[in-house]
Structure 1
Amino acid sequence: MPYATDSFPDFTGTFLDRGRLRLLDCLGAGAFGKVYRALDTKSPNSNPSYYAVKCLRALEEGTREHCFQIRELDNHNSVSDHPNIITYHKAIFHDDFIYVVLDFCEGGDLFDKILQTEFFYRRDDRVRNAFLQLIDAVAFCHENGVYHRDIKPENILCSKDGSQIYLTDFGLSTQSGTSTTHECGSMEYMSPECIGKEFGYTPHRRYSTRTNDIWALGVVLVTMVSRRAPWAVAMTTDVFFRSYLEDADHLGRSLPGISAGACTILKKIFRLEPRSRISLADLQREISELESFFSDELFPDSSSRHSPALQRSISSLGSTPSNEIGALRIDDEDDIFS
């Protein structure tokens, strides 16, 4: 799928911050920006220091997209002090681009770690350690009034040995506890109310951004244990989600390798009524006490009866009712400016 970043120039070799940073290789590209590894030119040659620099095209002031962009910087900066949130250093505005300077993680993202079969496979200690860190990071965000809205393995970075994880990419985050911006995030990780097409949700009905994040955590946990997604989209048009609604125990049958105890926790996360979902505090406790995430059944070969194989996902800004767009640009009627 083509990205807007396909038209970006090659920033390799670019100097920033009065020559302090030199952009080296491109680490990755997404729908909204490219990320480069940058050398701190003031660091010693014998022990060089590196940063990650996210390159964004500066968008027209007053537009909805510009609001998301500026809010990303503010929200990330406000929660940057947590040990499991990637450190935000500064934003450099130059010409038509914004360069966001962040800590560099040598271990890549959680998506890559998941697909390295041996890293999490039947390693309760590793799954528990990483997932508890992620809960801590999300809880800190919520305690500080920031709701991520795009929690997924691609937005979770890892240390080189995988022992530490860091939540990143606050491009879709909000400071509003409720929102009418539906389909915001990555489809596989969205809650039914965020999708907003079924179960009584309409484009004008608000949903909880807090419980939407909790839903996404459940999907991440599934991917860590099974290397699969529970469904492609949480709608009745998806055969796996529909089967789950008809019989919650179908989750364990479609995700071989997950223990009954882990499925019990997941069913508390994947409750259709957002207000009845497990809290982060209770989730943290139950994950800590869970004996094992894995059952005795080995991972199967690819089969149509099992849930979708894990794939990298695409983030979306979502949609907001057209009659609210004007209000979003001038006040805090909705989550764009709140």
Structure 2
Amino acid sequence: MPPNQNPKKFDFLVGLSIDGCKLLELVGHGHYGAVFRASEPDKEASVAVKIMRAPKPGSSKEILLCNELEALRRLRTCQTTTYLHRVVKRDGLLCLVMDYCDGGDLWNPVMRDRKFVGDSALTGRVFGMMLDAVQDVHNVDFAHRDLKPENFLTDSGLEHLWLADFGLATQGRETDKFGRGTPAYLPPEGWTPDLERIDAFRGDVFALGVTLFQMLYGEYPWCRAIAHDKHWDDFVAYRTDFFRNCDKWAGKRGGPPVSREAHVLLSAALEPKMESRIDMPEFRRRFHDINDFFVPLESIPSDVHAPIGVRHAPDLASDSSSDSESDAGPATPRRISSHLPPGGATLGLFKNVYDDDEREGKGRQPSTGIRAWIRRLVVRPSSSASR
């Protein structure tokens, strides 16, 4: 769970029962609702219960939900995506019961613990599974549209991996739905709504390129892939110098330089021109052809400035510059939320709904209205009415 999220906001649900599932602990929440680890009678394995408000008929949220459920239905035979057991709908509440992954998501291993930095074998194995999962989604004619470490779930030993959260998925390779996804992972064309259509599959490739960069460096490459973002501009204009600075800064933090082969792959996956960007089959082929993602650590000049975009989640609703990072190093990494509406405008829509209160130290509790619509369905397990 990201440091900027306060689990106490949903603590009141723990211990309640819903459709036979006893909610044991909160494992994540966001604009969609909340996800809990839960137990079922006479079953040893835990399940995950995703709780959200049922969307209004005909609304854009209902369309997104239908896309998510259709994608999960088509992927039920795949071993690389989360398995949907059933959907419960009653009194304005919608609950998705899915497999539970005891290792959580990849945010902490990638950004907090930086487990992949310097480990070619682990990077090759885990990112290879990520590529397989996304290819499975594309094979059923869906684009995920929100690929990032938080949406890849794993077991406690990082031996298996599953792709989750299809709430922004779209059917078909080409789409006119712009601005879907998390800002730091959006490709340049995702910020250009004047285009008639975009290639959503290549948008997934770009997001995977950002994710691979995070695994190799333990950093974000930039805030947003748009003009006037200094680090994006550096990448577009001077790719060799961009990666050289990244390697020097990584060395100052104790990490080895990334290999030239990995740089070439990152450059191809993060290609600014959508039509020139590699596709998923080519991404997979090139990735598996790389033997070493890192090279031995060399001496690092003492005057290297930090080239990386951000390690924490920026306030993307503002135009604050990423150049404010000091050479002493940026702040602790935080997740970036995906709050973009389907086809909506981009600027000013990225702030986490809890960010302002949390920055002021106030915290924030669910409103009585939210509590009411949840309690219409869930009941205390001690009650005779418990399911």
Q: CA deviation at 1:127?
A: 0.6
Unaligned segments of structure 2, at least 5 residues: 248-256, 312-332, 346-387
Alpha-carbon distance change, 170 to 319 in structure 1, aligned in 2, over 3 angstroms: closer
The answer as to whether partners of 2:16 and 2:23 remain within 8 angstroms in 1 is yes
* Cα shift at 1:195: 1.6
Indicate whether 1:121 and 2:117 are aligned: yes
| CA distances 1:60-90 after superposition (whole Å, capped 9, x unpaired) | 1111122112221221221132211111111
Alignment match of 2:13 (pick from 11, 14, 32): 11
TM-score (normalizing by structure 2): 0.74
Q: How does 1:75-224 map to 2 (within 5 A)?
A: 75-115=71-111, 117=113, 119-196=115-192, 202-203=193-194, 205-224=196-215
Q: Which 10-residue stretch deviates more, 301-310 or 148-157? A: 301-310
Q: Secondary structure at the match of 2:12?
A: coil
Unaligned runs of 5+ in 1: 197-201, 323-338
Q: What displacement does 1:137 show?
A: 0.9
| Alignment deviations for residues 196-223 of structure 1 (CA, whole Å, 9 cap, x no partner) | 1xxxxx3452111011001111011011
Q: Which of these residues, 218, 233, 248, is aligned with residue 239 of structure 2?
A: 248
Residues 117-149 of structure 1: CA distance to partner in whole angstroms, max 9, x if unpaired? Answer: 363232111111111111111111111111100
What CA deviation, in whole Å up to 9, does each residue of 1:236-270 have, x standing for no partner? 12100101111121331242232211101111111
Distance in 2, Cα, partners of 1:115 & 1:12: 28
Q: What is residue 295 of structure 2 aligned with on the other side?
A: 295
Distance 1:71 1:319, change over 3 A: closer
What is residue 229 of structure 1 aligned with on the other side? 220
Q: Which of 304, 307, 316 matches 1:305?
A: 307
Q: CA RMSD in A?
A: 2.6
Aligned twin of 1:34: 34
CA contact (8 A) 2:4 2:334 kept: no
Please report the TM-score for the alignment, with normalisation by the length of structure 1.
0.84
Q: Identity over aligned residues, as a percent? A: 25
CA distance in 2, matches of 1:160, 1:65: 33
Quick check: 7-16 or 106-115, which moved more?
7-16
Instruction: Give the distance between the partners of 1:299 and 1:182, measured in 2 at CA.
Output: 44
Note the C-alpha offset of 1:6.
9.4
Alpha-carbon distance in structure 1 between the residues aligned to 2:299 and 2:107: 18
Between stretches 139-148 and 272-281, larger displacement belongs to 272-281
The number of residue pairs the alignment matches comes to: 310
Equivalent AA in structure 2 for residue 255 of structure 1 = C
Pick which of 292-301 and 71-80 moved more.
Answer: 292-301
2:35 maps to amino acid? V
Change (3 A) 1:273 1:204: closer
Measured in 2, the distance between the counterparts of 1:298 and 1:34 equals: 45
CA distance in 1 between counterparts of 2:234 and 2:115 reads 30
- 2:325 match: none
Q: 1:95 to 1:13 in 2, by over 3 A?
A: farther
Report the more deviating stretch, 5-14 or 307-316: 5-14
Worse-superposed segment, 63-72 or 311-320: 311-320
The residue identity in structure 2 corresponding to 1:36 is: F
| 1:172 and 1:317 in contact (8 A); partners too | no
Partner Cα distance (1:16, 1:319) in 2: 30
Change (3 A) 1:7 1:163: closer
Bigger relative CO (Cα 8 Å, ≥ 6 apart) = 2
Cα pair 1:252 1:260 within 8 Å, conserved = no
Q: Do the aligned partners of 2:33 and 2:52 also contact (CA within 8 Å) in 1?
A: yes
Tell me which amino acid in the other structure corresponds to 1:172. Answer: L
Q: Distance in 1 between matches of 2:341 and 2:169?
A: 12
2:340 alignment partner in structure 1 = 317
Measured after TM superposition, the shift of residue 298 of structure 1 is 7.8
- Do 1:254 and 1:307's aligned partners in 2 also have CA atoms closer than 8 Å? no
Q: Secondary structure at the match of 1:255?
A: helix
Give the structure 1 partner of residue 70 of structure 2.
74
User: What does the per-residue CA deviation read over 1:164-207, in whole Å, with 9 as the maximum and x for residues that have no partner?
Assistant: 111100000010322222221000001000121xxxxx345211
Higher mean Cα deviation, 54-63 or 299-308? 299-308
Q: Distance in 1 between matches of 2:159 and 2:8?
A: 33
